Amino acid sequence: MDQHHVVPVKLYATIVGCLFTLTALTVLAAFVELGTLNTPLAIGIAILKATLVVLF
């Protein structure tokens, strides 16, 4: 029997890649001194990551 995923595995791999990239961006942003923008930037990245997790 030939079974197919409802959601292609390639899409999941892309989402995982995006999550890893956003995590690396969070770490890099922590080392850059942006003053009062550090917290909003970190929260913005966290919201993007949470959205990807919830959607997929």
pLDDT at 35: 92
Distances (CA, A) of 52 to 1, 5, 19, 42: 32, 19, 8, 16
Q: Over range 19-45, report the average pLDDT.
A: 95
Average pLDDT over residues 34-44: 94
Q: What are phi and psi of 47, to 5 degrees?
A: -65, -40
With a pLDDT cut of 90, the percent of the chain lying above it is 80
Confidence (pLDDT) at 4? 76
33 near 10, Cβ under 8 Å?
Answer: no
pLDDT at residue 5 tops 80: no
